[in-house]
Amino acid sequence: MNKALLQKTAIIGVGLMGGSLGMALRNRSVAGEVVGFFRDPEKIEKAIELGAVDRGTLHLTEAVENADLVVVAIPVGLSPALVQEILPLLKPGCIITDLGSTKGEITENIEKILPPDIKFVGGHPMTGSEESGVEAANPYLLENAIYVLTATEKTDTAALQVVKLMVEEIGAQCMIMDPREHDLLVASVSHLPHITAALLVNTLPDTGADLKKALFLAAGGFRDTTRIAMSSPDMWRDICLSNREMILKLLEIFKNKIQELEQLLGQRDGESLMKEFQKARETRLNIPRRVKGLLPGIYDLVVLVADVPGVIGKMATLFGNKGINIKEIEILKSREEEGGSIRFSFSTLEERDRAFTVLEEEGFKAVAR
């Protein structure tokens, strides 16, 4: 049997991302042992049951001693202090990496306190979910996802290569870039969209419209557009503060775009409006379809069904037999004695496409969205 790349990996913060990484490391035999550090003793048994860790501990020393790799999977605002706390506990040659959504500030702070015999490689798996906690962890969350590693002139090349191999062995796609470049990119494609989603939701009560009616109508595109606003408020507070410089830069650009749109509307310039929407459409069509992105995926199938008892259960059973996980089910239209349409949501494009094939083979009429 091949020797594992990492004999012992410690994960500090076994939630959605830390738990998913632990599952991937164990399932693919990348780590000989995965040990999790927990604040809550009740979480240890659950994490072991789910396969996120081999064992868990409430003691930081026990978690990180003799570890080849320590994964810091806690909020970005807490990471530098945690790293400073564990440095005296680590063996020489240990590599520290993190899963934080911002990289510039944390890399700068950690590199200031890092002793010569301990290495740091910043990391950010570009995938996620609006759910949280180890209960939401998924061994396939990182598969085919872009996994950014950050490097500076102080980054140890051998340590960078070890973490790169780990990323590749769990099935993710590695990209290496400067921490500041990373922060600008994620501010553009993740942080600004999240802020926009939150502001869209918070605008509803101020419109003067009936909020209950508005929320009822929001069951369509508005719901999907603003789904990411359901993510952890604590996490997003820390992300915004940590990447404050880049987010402010992007907000200024976004404000200018809103002002340009206001001018076009004020001038009734339909031709220019159409060009703006066409430009957006063309850019959106260039997003790769087969690569996981940073924002949680929303992949829907709408199925037209007859008014037959048990039809939803039949479709759900078909999916279950094929190992396809349904994220959401919604009855869009229901007409007595005629049937209606059902929306199934899936976390990945692959699952949505497999579900489409299963239904097609069984004679169901489905439309992918």
Please answer whether residues 197 and 226 qualify as being in contact, where contact means their C-beta atoms are separated by less than 8 angstroms: yes
Residue 196: predicted pLDDT: 93
What is the spatial distance between Cα 121 and Cα 106, in angstroms, rounded to a whole number?
11
CA distances from 209 to 3, 204, 261 (A): 63, 8, 23
Tokens of 331: 């009855």
Specify the CATH number of the domain 6-178. 3.40.50.720
Please answer whether residues 55 and 82 qualify as being in contact, where contact means their C-beta atoms are separated by less than 8 angstroms: no
CATH topology of domain 182-285: 6-phosphogluconate dehydrogenase C-terminal fold (1.10.3660)
Residue 320: predicted pLDDT: 87
Q: Order of strands across the sheet with 146-150? A: 55-57, 31-37, 6-12, 69-72, 95-98, 119-125, 146-150, 173-177
Q: How many Cα atoms are found within 13 Å in the side-chain-facing hemisphere of 353? A: 5
Collapsed DSSP state (helix, strand, coil) of residue 305: strand
For residue 119, which phi and psi values (nearest 5 degrees)?
-115, 150
In one-letter notation, the amino acid at residue 50 is L
Partnered with residue 96 across adjacent β-strands are 70, 120
Residue 187: predicted pLDDT: 93
Partnered with residue 37 across adjacent β-strands are 12, 57
CA distances from 292 to 146, 172, 309 (A): 7, 9, 37
What is the spatial distance between Cα 323 and Cα 45, in angstroms, rounded to a whole number?
25
Question: What CATH superfamily classification does 299-368 receive?
Answer: ACT domain (3.30.70.260)
How would you class 225 by CB atoms within 10 Å of its CB: exposed for 0-12, middle for 13-18, buried for 19 or more?
middle
From 147, 140, 258, select the one nearest 200 (Cα to Cα). Answer: 258
Please answer whether residues 73 and 137 qualify as being in contact, where contact means their C-beta atoms are separated by less than 8 angstroms: no
For residue 238, which phi and psi values (nearest 5 degrees)?
-65, -40
Collapsed DSSP state (helix, strand, coil) of residue 235: helix
Tokens of 336: 């007595």
What is the spatial distance between Cα 323 and Cα 230, in angstroms, rounded to a whole number?
27
How would you class 134 by CB atoms within 10 Å of its CB: exposed for 0-12, middle for 13-18, buried for 19 or more?
buried
CA distances from 321 to 3, 12, 118, 363, 366 (A): 35, 35, 47, 17, 19
In one-letter notation, the amino acid at residue 323 is G
Q: Which residues of the chain form CATH 3.40.50.720?
A: 6-178
How would you class 268 by CB atoms within 10 Å of its CB: exposed for 0-12, middle for 13-18, buried for 19 or more?
exposed
Beta strands in 184-335 (DSSP E): 299-305, 328-335
> Which residues fall within 8 angstroms of residue 211, CB to CB, at 6 or more apart?
204, 205
Please state the pTM of the whole predicted model. Answer: 0.73
Write down the residue that tokens 């949280």 correspond to: 132
What is the spatial distance between Cα 332 and Cα 200, in angstroms, rounded to a whole number?
23
What is the spatial distance between Cα 183 and Cα 106, in angstroms, rounded to a whole number?
11
Q: Which residues of the chain form CATH 3.30.70.260?
A: 299-368
pLDDT per residue as tens, the chain (369 positions) = 457 899 999 999 999 999 999 999 999 999 999 999 999 898 999 999 999 999 999 999 999 999 999 999 998 888 999 999 999 999 999 999 999 989 999 999 999 999 999 999 999 998 876 667 888 888 888 887 889 999 999 999 999 999 999 999 999 989 999 999 999 999 998 899 999 999 989 998 888 888 888 887 776 677 777 877 877 788 888 889 989 999 999 999 999 999 999 999 999 999 999 999 999 888 887 766 555 555 555 677 888 777 667 888 888 888 888 888 887 777 765 444 444 678 888 877 788 888 899 888 888 888 776
Please answer whether residues 182 and 63 qualify as being in contact, where contact means their C-beta atoms are separated by less than 8 angstroms: no
Q: Which residues of the chain form CATH 1.10.3660.10?
A: 182-285
